[in-house]
Structure 1
Amino acid sequence: MGRTQTFDTTEVVRAARAVFWQHGFENASLAELEQATGLNRSSIYYAFGSKRGLFDAAVESYLDEIIRPRLQPLKGDVVAADALEQYLVGLRAALLQVGSLPATHGCMLVNTAGAPIGHDEAVAQTIRAYTAELREAMTAGVRAARPDASSSTVEALAESCTSHVITAMAIVPISPEDAARALDAARALIAAG
């Protein structure tokens, strides 16, 4: 007879996500994951198969609960002219919110790209898909903000915005001012066209 699950999977994954976000996959110990989730090692392995299974669930949670809601206004059939501006202003505020995970640890996936697990093909594919999703959202936002711009201009501005966003999320833990400057530069690029 199988075990009866007595915990909320969503809450467990969120708790683990915070540990992975703070420490990365390699440096997140099972003891820290046990403490954060309230589960013992055997329950983690039973529910998720492995530490890696829990990490994969945390990454999906990060995308679904942190990244995609912020990108949503840039992904609809109709994108408002100020949607990209609002995204950049909102991201700037999130990155400068003292003590928050985004402010102290940047982007979980950008950090993962530079870690050993980032070389795992499945993880690398998730990061590439995230970058493509971000670029697609930036493109829609630029197109809405600059409806008269040529396709090549839209593409160049979207690529620049994507790069500025990734830079901001990578550098914020050590230089919030530079992260803010990167996002302000993206806003200035869009305004200047």
Structure 2
Amino acid sequence: MPRTQEFDTAEVIGLARDLFWDRGYEATSVPDLERVTGLNRSSLYNAFTSKRGLFDAAVQDYLDRVIRPRLRILTDEPTPPDAGMRYYRALADTLATLPEEYPGRGCLLLNSAAGFAAHDETQRTVVDAYRRELSAALTHALRALDPDTPPAVVEHRTRLLTSLSVSALLLSRVNRDEAVAVANTAVEQLEEWHGTA
């Protein structure tokens, strides 16, 4: 008779997510996961099949609980013309609250892009899907800013804003002030486009 699971799966995934977010997939060991979650290896493997299975669950949790709530400001209907500015101001405010001596965790997905995703097709696909989701949300917000902007211009602006998001999140791991400056650059650029809309 199989044993009954005696832990909260969502809580375990959240604890693992934060550890992977801080340390990265490769630098996180199974003993680290046992320590943080309070579960032994067999319980983790019974629930998630492997360290990678737990990481994949953590990535999905990150998308559902961290990324998509942040992007909602860009996609909720009706989308106000200043949605993009509000998104980047919120990002700048969040980054500004990080302690200077330990800037931050950056983005779980982008951190993996700079690490093992380079040689892992599954994770590369997840990271690129996140980039596409971010780009689609920014495109939506840019159309709300000015519905008459030509598609080629919207595409160019989306690529620029996506790049600024990626830069700010990656820089937040090493230089909080520069990360905030990059997010504020996006705000300024959007204000300029809004002024010409």
Q: Shorter-chain TM-score category?
A: over 0.9
| Stretch deviating more after TM superposition (27-36 or 75-84) | 75-84
Amino acid at match of 1:180: V
CA contact (8 A) 2:24 2:111 kept: yes
Per the TM alignment, residue 114 of structure 1 is displaced from its structure 2 partner at its CA by 1.1
Matched, 1:186 2:186: yes
Shift of 1:44: 0.4
* Equivalent in the alignment of 1:128: 128
Deviation, structure 1 residue 54:
0.2
Structure ranking higher on relative contact order (CA contacts 8 Å, 6+ apart):
2
Question: What TM-score results when the alignment is normalised by the length of structure 2?
Answer: 0.92
Whether the 8 Å contact between 1:14 and 1:61 is mirrored in structure 2 is yes
1:140-191 deviations in whole A, cap 9, x for unaligned?
1111122332222222111111000000000112111111111111112212
Contact 1:95 1:106 in 2 (8 A): no
Instruction: Report if aligned partners of 1:81, 1:145 keep a CA contact under 8 Å in 2.
Output: yes
Q: Would you say 1:162 and 2:162 are equivalent positions?
A: yes
Aligned to 1:39: 39
Number of matched pairs:
192
Give the superposed CA RMSD.
Answer: 1.7
Structure 1: 4+ residue segments shifted above 4 A? none
Residue identity in the other structure for 2:152: S
- Give yes or no for contact 1:139–1:154 (8 Å, CA) kept in 2: yes
Q: Secondary structure at the match of 1:104?
A: coil
DSSP 3-state at the match of 1:105: coil
**1:77 Cα deviation (Å)?**
4.3
Gaps of 5+ in 1: none
Q: CA deviation at 1:116?
A: 2.0
Q: Does the alignment pair 1:94 with 2:84?
A: no
Spell out the pairing of 1:6-21 with structure 2 (5 A cutoff): 6-21=6-21
Counterpart amino acid of residue 108 in structure 1:
L
Deviation at 1:47, TM superposition (A): 0.3
Question: Per the alignment, do residues 126 and 139 of structure 1 end up closer, same or farther by CA in structure 2, a change over 3 Å counting?
Answer: same
CA-CA distance at 1:25 after TM superposition? 0.5
Bigger drift between 168-177 and 62-71 goes to 168-177
Instruction: Report if aligned partners of 2:172, 2:179 keep a CA contact under 8 Å in 1.
Output: yes
Deviations 1:39-65 (A, max 9, x none): 111100010000000000000000000
Structure 2 spans left out of the alignment, 5+ residues: none
Q: Taking structure 1 as the reference length, what is the TM-score of the superposition? A: 0.94
